[in-house]
Structure 1
Amino acid sequence: MAPLPSDMDTELEKISKGCVTIADYKLLTNNDVTWFIASMIGRELVRESVSTIGLLELRGALHFGPMTPWRDRNFLRPPTEQELGSASSLEQYYELKEPKSITRSLDSLMIMEKDIPRGVAFIDGRFPGIRKIFKEKFEKMLGKSGKMVMDRKTVDRMIEEYSAIDKKIRDAIEKDSFECLVQSYP
């Protein structure tokens, strides 16, 4: 007898079947560009919005403040051991280690920081399970009360889990994306 699928597996299956169409991409770009350009920009916006939701949920689980404004690509370099050692709080340590992306920087070629709220709203509306997956996993890792001992190793484990979940969700969205685009071609 095969094991029952987990809640995450069930949600990922729903996500993989949730087609993001050219019309969706045009909506995400405010119908300001052609369908082809909208699909390129929209795909990046969807990807980075998923990541942003995960980071927001991670910060919430850790009881850290909001995400910092975007910076130029120089902030993408990994922190040095000295910088990590100098972090005077767990939140400062996290800020240094938080996963970053050139697409979520001032040097992005496709999207701007002001686009992210629109992308997050789209994802929350179309795929509410994405936020649920991140939130439930982080709560489970910390215990519902959030009383787990917080230290740098905990932050590192949470970031690793974030990255694994982010990849699974992105893969689920991309699973049938080509077929969705072909079916929704204008």
Structure 2
Amino acid sequence: MSPAPFLCFLIATQLYAGIVAISNTTLNSTQTTQSLVDYLNATTPSPIFDFEGEIAKINVSFLACQDYEQLSRDLFPDFLAGLFNNILIKSSHRAIGFQELRSVLGFSLPDLWTTEFRPSREDIAAAPSVETYYELSELRKRGSTFISDWFFESQLLSGIEFLNRHLPVVRTIYRKKLEEIRRPTDLIVDREEIDYMFEVHSELSWRIDDRIRRILRCNNYKHAEKRRKTEKIPGF
């Protein structure tokens, strides 16, 4: 009998044992956390997604002034409208990131993105299931990034729609990078991986924030110039 089938069986057994060991790790184990990170790195092939190339596209993207103005729906004077829109865009792109993170981990979307409830760390630690742990952890993070406090649900959804239309690369970056990290997709989700994926989301958010701020700074200047040209200034 050829030894090849027997060797293949041994290798497959070892691989399966490694995956199960990683999936059953606990939140408080530093060594296990590093093992998961090493495992994810080891099983992630050469990048098929050009992250730097995609995020650079945000620099050359164009936000139409008229559509940008509609985000505040003429509720505020120029200065406050600019502040409102900037925070809305920031909150909206992070919400898009959470949408894509939920998709990658196999969790459904929340009924509402805006809520006043902000769980404590004790609430999160006592979560009875992995999905509840994710839900409570995300709620806490959403509350600390303006998503839950500043806007009505319809306003946040309009911000998400605006980015989907004018900066679709934002969703592409979140989706592709999270999918790249989340290989293989049949790995069982546990609290440890959820914490790690939240860290990835935070890093992506920071990088995207930096790019979008540059666009908004330029767009706000163009908007102010347009106002000055279209409005008559009284003479002295």
Unaligned residue ranges in structure 2 (runs of 5+)? 1-48, 228-236
Equivalent residues, number: 173
2:88 is aligned, of 39, 45, 55, to: 45
Instruction: Please identify the structure whose Cα radius of gyration is greater.
Output: 2
1:54 alignment partner, SS class = helix
RMSD: 2.1
The 8 Å contact of residues 86 and 216 in structure 2, kept in 1 or not, is answered as no
**Sequence identity (%):** 26
1:165 aligns with 2:207: no
Deviations 1:56-81 (Å, cap 9, x if unpaired)?
11111111121253222x61x6412x
**TM-score of the aligned structures, taking structure 2 as reference length:** 0.66
Shift of 1:142: 1.7
2:220 paired residue number: 181
Distance 1:21 1:62, change over 3 A: same
CA offsets, 1:94-124, max 9 Å, x none? 112112235222x42xx32221111111101
Shift, 1:176, TM fit: 4.4
- Code of the residue aligned with 2:93 in structure 1: it is V
Contact 1:8 1:133 in 2 (8 A): yes
1:91 and 2:150 equivalent? no
| Alpha-carbon contact 1:49-1:116 (below 8 Å) kept | yes
For 1:68 and 1:168, how far apart are their aligned partners in 2?
A: 28
Letter aligned with residue 101 of structure 1? G
Render the CA deviation track for 1:121-155: whole Å, top value 9, x for unaligned.
11011111111111111211222x62123111111
The SS at the match of 1:30 is coil
